[in-house]
Structure formats: structure tokens, C-alpha cells
Structure 1
Amino acid sequence: MNTKMAFTIVGAGPAGLACAIVLARGGAKVVVREWKDRVGHRFHDDFQGLENWSRESDALEDLVAAGIAADFEHHPFDRGIVFDPAGRQHRVRGRRALFYLVRRGPGEGTLDSALLAQARAAGVELRFGDRVHDFNGAGVLAAGPREAGVIAAGHVFETGMADGAWLALGHAVAPAGYAYLLVKNGRGTVASCMFTRFRDQARHVRAAEEFFRVHVGLEMRNPRAFGGYGNMRLPRTAKQGGHPVIGEHAGFQDALAGFGMRYAIHSGVLAAQSLLSGDDYTAVWQAELGPGLKAGIANRWIFNLAGETGMRFAIGSLANRDAGDLLRRAYDLTPLKRLALPIARRSYSAPLADPSCSHEDCDCVWCRHGDHGAAGEVQT
């Protein structure tokens, strides 16, 4: 493909910026059009985890191999404490980092601002406040979630607590999901990550924070409320109007835990490489991302079936072995999971609709702040 041609990328999230960086460094002219006035507009300087267990390779090494510098603030965590639904704690540890703690939002040192700086340094043109309804020519769609299959809500705060990572399972603190507490260098994030019952968001946030006060000694100073949402689905082609669709716009997010940053960046890199090489993007992402996405859907189905009894068993297994290795093998698409996948997809889709939230007179994160219709309205 002629790399002197211009590409339009709709959306300046991690997927869109990663795609832009690889395209620009490959010699192409790139314009990123973002309808908000800054990067990271959905985030509030909250801590998130860049997962490091679903692949054999290290997440940061994968970035460097793709030509993207890991020059954002990141902290490796190879251990943490997980609470089962009965409130019993289990210490888990991996032989390498289980995840890298990063901050999200427009501030200095965040993942979003670092990728923005790299894109600009590569010669990418950024247009903010530019809501795209149509465009001509070659392009990539990276406009973010089209719907909410998971929400997270809680607080970011200052604290005198020691660094650490805590996870709590149980429907009281996070229905079908988990609550988490992340602390580093006097800053913290606490949240309930819910896969259903969005209408009861406030109640579950209070329950999660009370749980961590009792079991960990949660101490918050100057707390600020935050919330986020994610979209998970398994697309057929991840193309629209002939253009690659990447990140959460495509639904590339883990159906079990809701982690999406690694999928987002990886899909952006794959889209850029396919445009530069002329390879078929659909075939590329299906080979690279498809097995893990399918395993995640099967894992979610198993998780829902197992209930809190299964949660206790799974946590006990993690605590007695290399947690990273066990988690990685959980994302192998085994023959049994292949057989279960059709049932799991039907059970999990529909399309991730939450029967408790009619999106009418609801105060959940998605109803208050979701970019309703923004990602699906681009005409090409």
C-alpha cells in the first residue's frame, strides 16, 4: 500500500492513538479526529490495571515491539490480596507482574497523555472538538463503547495507606463482578465493577467501600467520585464501511474481567499494520485476538454458572499456585470451551442488556455519561 496516502482515525483513545502512531511511523499521513476537547475525557486520574496474564509475552514488551514507548507512569504488581464472598482473604502472587498499574485521563503521566505526545511526535495531526458524522477515504473507527456491558464506579482519593492491590468478590459488593482497591504512593482508587444491576450502582459502591474499610482499613482523604463503562462483544468482521473497527468500538474487551486496554492497543497496532501491508484486517485480528476473546466469553459463562461457590474454589486455586500462569492458561481456548462457546455467546449477549436498567430515570454511569449513539453514527 502507498504509505503516502492519508488515513483518518475517528477517536483518540488508546486504540486510535496506538493505530495513529504505528501508521505515522510507517510513513503515512494521519489525522485523528476526536469529538471531545481532550484525550482521556472518560477518566478521572483513576488507577487501572494493564493486565499481564492473558498472553505469554509481557504487555510492555509488546508495546515496545510495536514501536510504542512505555513512557507513561506504570508500576508492576506481582502480588495482591483477593477476598472470597465469605470475606476470607487469600494472598496471590505471580512470578512476573500480574498487571501494571497505570493512571487514565488527560493529566501528566497518564497512559492517555503519553500516547498523545507520541502521536504528535510522530507527525500525527490531532483535531479535538471534531465530532465525525462522515468522512471520505481510508480510515479506522475507534470511537469507544457503543453500549455498556460493565460499569465501574467509586472514588479516587489521597491516603496514608501502604501500597497494595485488593480485590473482593461477591454479589453484595459487585453483582457478577468484583470490587477493587488500588493504592500507590499516597493515591488510591476504590470501585465496584458491576456486570449487572446498574440501577443499584450507588448501593454497591457504598457496600464495596465499607467492605474495604472493615477488612483493609480503607482511608480516604479528598475523595472524588468517578465512573466508567465498557463494551464487550465478539464482532463478525470488525469492519464498517470497509474500514477497520478497533478497541471498544469493536467490542474488544475481556468478557470475564472487563479488562480492555491491552486489547485496545493491540487491535490498533494490528489495524495499522494491516493497512500498511495490505493484509486482511479481519483475518489478522481473528487470529491474534479471537481465541482470547472467545475464551473470555466462555470464562464469563462458567463464572456465572459457578456462582459464589465457584468463586471460592477459583480463588483458593489462585492462592496456591503461580497466579499469572494459572490465569494465562484460563485464556486458552480449549476444546471444551470451543464446545461451550455457542451456548456461552447466547447466554452472554442479548446484547449484554441489563434487565435492571431500562435507561429511563436511571442514575448509573452509562445513563449519566455514556456517549449514547456517538460511536455508531459515523457514516462512511
Structure 2
Amino acid sequence: MPMLNSNKDNIITVVGAGPAGLSAAITLARAGKKVIVHEAQKEVGHRFKRDFQGLENWTTDRDVLEILNELGIKTQFRYKPCRFVSSYDAWRNYYPVTNDKPLFYLVERGPNAGSLDSAMLEQAIGMGIDVKFNSRIRHFKGTGILAAGPKAADAIAVGYHFETDMADGCWVICDNRLAPKGYAYLLIWEGRGTVKTCMFSGFKQEQIYVKRTVEAFEKLLGLRMINPVSHGGVGNFYLPARAYGGRRPIAGEQAGFQDSLWGFGMRHAMLSGILAARSLLDDSDYDKLWSDAIGWQIKTSIVNRAFFNLLGNRGYRWFLNHQSKKTDTREFLRKTYDKSFLKQLMLPLARLYVKTARVDKSCNHIDCECVWCRHGEHETG
């Protein structure tokens, strides 16, 4: 396991200033450690461009914001509690998704004031953490954590950011004709919006599916986009054999930690960053920490993804209809991620069916100094 005194200055290096990397850095700084964060881009949250995303709030009974604050991550970013989602199946049947407690928190991503990324950066800098931008490193010596973001595309979310005079709301359409093996969504918050198709296949035809998605929301809701700007992002879903690069823990999407069903990854990213830092502080087994905390959720999400891939639009219709009859949607969603004997039996087959764009990139070279090791083919992180 990594030891803290592995370099002469006792400085811990974190690669990546996303939620995983900054959560790790903040956790280390709270323990009195000196931390340097290297970020390849010129600013925090550079690739998100004010994208709206959801911070998932159903996999635990306790509220995610309460948990993050307890873990030392200040929730001083802007957020909108989402207790109601209007959902539709491929035949445009309507299913309300509602709950007394927030199902997720809508947050803004990017370098702008009030975003999740800028709030975490402000906390880190306020704690004396040295964050270096435009700092793309290939190798480094000493103790560190790798959190450089996704390295392959298992899903893409493509569409537009825009201004609008529409009322706030969250809408989802589960239809393979709009989003192959995924879903299309529309998020409106205080005069701004995001409309996207979240696709798990058919990437080369992305513009066709974006066009269909926009047309569907125009017909269904009268979507009005002012000054639309195209935007896209990728997600990587993966269950690693071990989340280490040499002696260094790998956190967030660089490790592949994501929800394979719906793609809600920020919570996994932040928690894995915190656990990576704790593994250094306690000289403990990071693989055991993340496996105990989020491993079962990742595994069941792979089984869930395989199930919906097989059943297609009819499977989504069954799911939406089934949840609409429940009085507690958060509890229903939580149960879909519960580990069970049946899901444990199905996991090996599900992993064969739900192909990842990655192969196992974990590095077993104890003294490896690479940010991203592909069995000897070293790439910039």
C-alpha cells in the first residue's frame, strides 16, 4: 500500500481537478497534508460549459448533501432539489415520477460562479491546496492519486445548452429511436436549459438522434431554444479488477466508477476521491474501501443495464409503469440497486453482454510512475 513519506517534501500529488480529484485533495488537506493538484485544462470544469447534471439522491436513505457536508465537502454550489420528473415512454404515455424528498439535485457544471466545480475549487484553494492549471503531466514520483477523468466512451450525452422563457422542469423520454439503449432529457432552470440524447450505442449517428430528440420535445412540450450552443460529453462505465496505478489509487471515472444504468456519476466520483485519500492517510486497502462502499451499486447497475438493453422500449415502459404505482419513488429506485442473490448470479453474464470500451488498464507495476498506464504504452493523463 502507498506510504505518505514516499517523497522528501511529503507533498501528495493529485492528477485531475474534477469532483474526484478535488474531493481527494480536500480530504487530505483536512488531515493536514500538503497537496498539489495538476489539471490539464486551463480552468476547472472546462469540458462541461455550464451543463446541467443531476447529483443522485436515492441510493442511501440519508440525503446526499448531508453526507457530503459530513465528509468535509462543502455544498456551497447552486442546486435545485428535483422531487418531480415528467417521464414518457416510446409511445409517449406519461408517467409522473414524484417523491417528498429530492430524487436528485440539479447542479451546474463548469468554471462559472456557483457551479459545483467552482465551489469545490474555492474550498480547495481556501484550504491552501495548490491547484495548477494547464499542467498536463505524464509521470511523477512519490505519493499521489489519479483522477484524470474518463478514458473511453461507453455512453455519450449530446445536444444543446440554451436560453429559454420556459418554466423550470425536468423531462425524460425513454425511447431507443431518440437515444439508443438510453434516454433523452430536457432540464430547465431559471431561464437556461439543457436538452440531450444520452446514447449507449449508435454514436456515429449522434446528429440524427439529437435532431429527433429536439423535435420530440418541440412536439411534446413546445420546446423553445434561444441562442442554442451544441455540447457533448462522454461517460465510462467499468468495474475494475483493482483501482490502482502502481501504488496509487485511481478515483472517479478514470477508474470507471459510474452508474451503468442512468449515468449518474458525480456521487461515485466524490466518494471514491474521499476513499482514495483515506487509504493514503490510514495506509489501508483502497480496493476494499471502494468495493465495500460503492462496488455493489456498480455491479447491480451493470445487471440493470443488461436487462434494459435486452428488453428495449418495452422494458422501459414496464419500468416506468411499475414505478408510477409506488408511493415512495426513492425507495423503489434504491431497491433496483440492492444486491440480491439473483443479481449476483446474473452479473457474469451481464458483464459479457454490457461491453465496455475499455479493457483492464490497471497497472500491477509497483513502482510505475505513469499517470495512465496501458501495460507499458504510456499516455498523457
**Common fold, TM-score beyond 0.5?**
yes
- 1:343 corresponds to which of 344, 349, 353: 349
Aligned to 2:108: 103
Contact (CA 8 Å) 1:134, 1:378: kept in 2 or not?
no
- 2:53 corresponds to which of 36, 39, 48: 48
- 1:330 corresponds to which of 327, 336, 357: 336
Question: In the TM superposition, what are the counterparts of 1:22-33 in structure 2 within 5 Å?
Answer: 22-33=27-38
Contact (CA 8 Å) 1:141, 1:249: kept in 2 or not?
yes
Question: In the TM superposition, what are the counterparts of 1:122-137 in structure 2 within 5 Å?
Answer: 122-137=127-142
Indicate yes or no: 2:264 matched with 1:238: no
The residue identity in structure 2 corresponding to 1:334 is S
Aligned to 2:366: none
Q: 1:374 Cα shift?
A: 8.4
Indicate yes or no: 2:198 matched with 1:193: yes
Aligned to 1:310: 315
- What secondary structure is seen at the aligned counterpart in 2 of 1:192? strand
The residue identity in structure 1 corresponding to 2:240 is P
Name the Cα RMSD after superposition: 1.8
The residue identity in structure 2 corresponding to 1:324 is R
Q: 1:208 Cα shift?
A: 0.6
Q: 1:185 Cα shift?
A: 1.0
Contact (CA 8 Å) 2:176, 2:312: kept in 1 or not?
no
Contact (CA 8 Å) 2:139, 2:371: kept in 1 or not?
no
Question: In the TM superposition, what are the counterparts of 1:106-121 in structure 2 within 5 Å?
Answer: 106-121=111-126
Q: 1:57 Cα shift?
A: 2.3
- 1:301 corresponds to which of 294, 298, 306: 306
* Structure 1 residues 158 and 291: alpha-carbon distance in aligned structure 2, compared to 1, 3 A threshold: same
Indicate yes or no: 2:162 matched with 1:157: yes
The residue identity in structure 2 corresponding to 1:291 is W
Distance 1:236 1:7 in 2: 25
* Structure 1 residues 54 and 238: alpha-carbon distance in aligned structure 2, compared to 1, 3 A threshold: same
- What secondary structure is seen at the aligned counterpart in 1 of 2:184? strand
- 1:268 corresponds to which of 263, 273, 276: 273
Contact (CA 8 Å) 2:65, 2:75: kept in 1 or not?
yes
Aligned length: 361
Q: TM-score, normalising length from structure 1? A: 0.92
Distance 1:107 1:147 in 2: 26
Identity %: 45
* Structure 1 residues 31 and 334: alpha-carbon distance in aligned structure 2, compared to 1, 3 A threshold: same
Structure 2, unmatched stretches of 5+, are 360-369
Contact (CA 8 Å) 1:145, 1:251: kept in 2 or not?
yes
Question: In the TM superposition, what are the counterparts of 1:54-65 in structure 2 within 5 Å?
Answer: 54-65=59-70
Contact (CA 8 Å) 2:238, 2:356: kept in 1 or not?
no
1:106-127 Cα shifts (integer Å, max 9, x gaps): 1111111111111101111111
- What secondary structure is seen at the aligned counterpart in 2 of 1:17? helix
Q: Which runs of 4+ in 1 moved over 4 A?
A: 1-4, 373-376
Structure 1, unmatched stretches of 5+, are 354-372
